[in-house]
């Protein structure tokens, strides 16, 4: 077994993790005060808040991504491709699953990586709340690959419609979840449908796009002040989006969504963006104290409540503020948590204690 021994291992090079390794690389890695290792299951970082633009084809993930290995070389940290799937706290070792190519040939075998300090920053995935039919029939926007799959389906839909001279025919897209993802995606889809003529789909216009944005709660953007949510709703309605508040979905089928009141909302393309949870395997590890969304509970230093050598940040972290509210899963929160963990790790490196830690 090949065991390497970096001191600070960060799993997940997303909004929080990439910022953290970049800062640690310059503060500790450059002066050889610590080895910083970033592990990610992808070779390239794409800023997740831009995934709805990848989905609509407004940006090209190949051009807008950051290649981890090149970034690591410039910022004094190391990068290892791998998917974290287990941990042994006693030996301070994590396991990275074997990696296979599309034909099933091994690219990398299972590996074990030792850490002195570990930072878990693996983000979140969509939460379908076990709603029947969602996994089988909906697109999610959790990763670049998923956003690209949605984009292919969208282009196929637009191309099909372009061939059809009947202007009454439209592409129906239903999006569940009136949070930032659903709202941004709805608006971006109209923006793209406006541009299609420039790309040769002369038969297309925004009028041939029907979008239903479905929200179970009383209003879209529930995490934002009411003034902003109302103004966003006004703009969406102006574009032509059917904003459906107070509408709970109980099932997804091949033909669309079925609401709690048994109404069928027909759709050619369905998207599920109704909340997030940390990946399910975290629960299977049986190590951490978790919320019902699999988020790892931490103390005020962002150390996991079960092991002070393991820090957690971003969407997979459950941090309760002094007012009792949980920090929301946002890029802004991941950024602030990355800053906090960076300061704490630098302090630890100097003093070997956490007494001066930033909470
Ligand atoms: C379409 C969309 C729009 C959004 N818009 C906004 C917005 O406008 N404003 C805002 O504040 N937030 C927005 N968000 C939310 C924001 O993207 C997240 O809150 C933020 O990215 C969380 O950062 P993170 O570092 O915790 O995780 P992520 O940025 O998701 O990064 C997680 C990283 O971990 C890696 N990873 C996952 N599992 C493993 C594993 N087992 N092993 C190794 N690596 C792993 C992933 O490859 C990824 O690189 C949006 C999200 C989406 C999907």
Q: Is 356 inside a domain boundary?
A: no
DSSP H or E segment with residue 184: helix 180-195
Whether the predicted pLDDT of 353 surpasses 60 = no
Percent of the chain past pLDDT 70, that is, above it, reads: 96
Angle at 40 between CA 34 and CA 45, to 5 degrees: 105
- Residue scoring higher pLDDT (82 or 6): 82
Across 246-284, b (16+ Cβ under 10 Å) vs e yields ebebebbeeebbbbeeeeebebbbbbbbbbbbbbeebee
Asked whether residue 119 falls in the same domain as residue 138, the answer is no
Q: Among 242, 272, 302, give the residue marking a domain's end.
A: 272
pLDDT at 358: 54
Residue 59 pLDDT grade (very low, low, confident, very high; cuts 50, 70, 90): confident
Asked whether residue 138 falls in the same domain as residue 44, the answer is no
Which pTM was predicted? 0.93
Whether the predicted pLDDT of 5 surpasses 50 = no
137 C-alpha to center of ligand 1: Å? 23
Instruction: Return the residue whose CA atom lies nearest to atom 39 of ligand 1.
Output: 122
Q: Is 357 inside a domain boundary?
A: no
Q: What is the mean pLDDT of residues 304-324?
A: 96
Q: Among 272, 292, 315, give the residue marking a domain's end.
A: 272
Q: Which two tokens stand for residue 330?
A: 């946002």
Q: Are 37 and 80 in contact (CB under 8 A)?
A: yes
User: Whats the size of the chain, residue-wise?
Assistant: 359
pLDDT at 356: 44
343 C-alpha to center of ligand 1: Å? 22
Asked whether residue 205 falls in the same domain as residue 335, the answer is no
Ranking 84-88, 161-165, 199-203, 314-318 by mean pLDDT, the lowest is 199-203
Q: Among 240, 272, 304, give the residue marking a domain's end.
A: 272
Closest CA to 10 of 104, 84, 60, 61: 84
Asked whether residue 148 falls in the same domain as residue 262, the answer is yes
Whether the predicted pLDDT of 140 surpasses 90 = yes
Whether the predicted pLDDT of 349 surpasses 60 = yes
Residue 3 pLDDT grade (very low, low, confident, very high; cuts 50, 70, 90): very low
If one residue of 330, 332, 333, 335 were mutated to test the ligand 1 pocket, choosing by the most ligand atoms within 8 A of its CB, it would be: 330
Whether the predicted pLDDT of 357 surpasses 60 = no
Asked whether residue 60 falls in the same domain as residue 155, the answer is no
**Cα 55 from Cα 48, distance rounded (Å):** 11
What total number of domains does the chain contain?
2
Q: Is 358 inside a domain boundary?
A: no
**Which residues, other chains included, contact 188 with Cβ-Cβ below 8 Å and sequence gap of 6+?**
52, 53, 55, 56, 58
Which atom of ligand 1 is the closest one to the Cα of 55?
A: 1
CATH number (domain holding residue 306): 3.50.50.60
pLDDT digits (tens, 9 = 90+) for 27-40: 999 999 999 999 99
pLDDT at 352: 63
Which atom of ligand 1 is the closest one to the Cα of 185?
A: 1
Which atom of ligand 1 is the closest one to the Cα of 332?
A: 11
**Cα 195 from Cα 222, distance rounded (Å):** 31
Helix (H, G, I), strand (E, B) or coil at 224: coil
pLDDT at 64: 82
What is the domain range of residue 320? 3-124+278-351
Q: Is 359 inside a domain boundary?
A: no
Ranking 104-113, 125-134, 195-204, 300-309 by mean pLDDT, the lowest is 195-204
Q: Is 340 inside a domain boundary?
A: yes
Indicate the DSSP class of residue 217. Answer: S
pLDDT digits (tens, 9 = 90+) for 327-337: 999 999 999 99
pLDDT at 209: 93
CATH number (domain holding residue 132): 3.50.50.100
Asked whether residue 203 falls in the same domain as residue 248, the answer is yes
Burial of 316 (C-beta count, 10 Å sphere; 0-12/13-18/19+)? buried
Asked whether residue 215 falls in the same domain as residue 285, the answer is no
Q: Is 96 inside a domain boundary?
A: yes
Residue 4 pLDDT grade (very low, low, confident, very high; cuts 50, 70, 90): very low
- Residue scoring higher pLDDT (63 or 14): 14
Asked whether residue 114 falls in the same domain as residue 194, the answer is no
Asked whether residue 131 falls in the same domain as residue 236, the answer is yes
Which atom of ligand 1 is the closest one to the Cα of 12?
A: 34
Asked whether residue 210 falls in the same domain as residue 306, the answer is no
pLDDT digits (tens, 9 = 90+) for 242-295: 999 999 999 999 999 999 999 999 999 999 999 899 999 999 999 999 999 999
Asked whether residue 9 falls in the same domain as residue 100, the answer is yes
Q: Is the CB of 211 under 6 A from ligand 1?
A: no
Helix axes 331-351, 15-24, angle to 10 degrees: 30
């Amino acid at each position: 077994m090949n065991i390497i021994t970096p001191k600070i291992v960060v799993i997940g090079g997303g909004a929080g993790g990439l910022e953290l390794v970049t800062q640690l690389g310059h503060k500790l890695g450059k002066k050889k005060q610590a080895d910083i290792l970033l592990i990610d299951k992808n070779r390239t970082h794409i800023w997740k808040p831009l995934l709805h633009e990848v989905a609509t084809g407004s940006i090209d993930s190949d051009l807008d991504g950051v290649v981890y290995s090149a970034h690591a070389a410039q910022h004094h940290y190391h990068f290892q491709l791998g998917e974290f799937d287990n941990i042994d706290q006693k030996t301070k070792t994590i396991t990275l699953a074997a990696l296979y190519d599309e034909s099933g040939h091994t690219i990398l075998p299972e590996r074990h990586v030792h850490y002195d300090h570990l930072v878990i920053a693996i983000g979140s995935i969509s939460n379908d709340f076990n709603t029947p039919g969602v996994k089988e029939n909906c697109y999610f926007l959790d990763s670049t690959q998923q956003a690209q799959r949605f984009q292919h389906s969208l282009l196929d839909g637009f191309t099909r419609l372009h061939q059809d001279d009947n202007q009454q025919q439209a592409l129906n897209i239903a999006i569940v979840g009136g949070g930032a993802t659903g709202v941004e995606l709805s608006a971006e889809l109209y923006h793209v449908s406006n541009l299609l003529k420039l790309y040769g789909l002369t038969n297309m216009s925004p009028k041939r796009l029907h979008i239903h944005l479905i929200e179970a709660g009383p209003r879209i953007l529930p995490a934002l002040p009411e003034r902003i949510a109302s103004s966003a709703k006004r703009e969406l309605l102006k574009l032509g989006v059917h904003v459906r508040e107070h509408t709970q979905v109980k099932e997804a089928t091949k033909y669309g969504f079925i609401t709690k009141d048994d109404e069928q909302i027909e759709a050619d393309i369905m998207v599920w963006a109704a909340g997030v949870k940390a990946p399910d395997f975290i629960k299977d590890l049986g190590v951490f104290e978790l919320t019902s969304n699999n988020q790892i509970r931490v103390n005020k230093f962002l150390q996991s409540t079960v092991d002070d050598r393991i820090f957690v940040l971003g969407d997979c972290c459950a941090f309760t503020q002094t007012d009792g509210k949980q920090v929301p899963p946002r890029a802004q929160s991941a950024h602030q948590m990355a800053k906090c963990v960076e300061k704490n790790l630098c302090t630890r490196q100097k003093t070997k204690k956490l007494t001066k830690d930033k909470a």
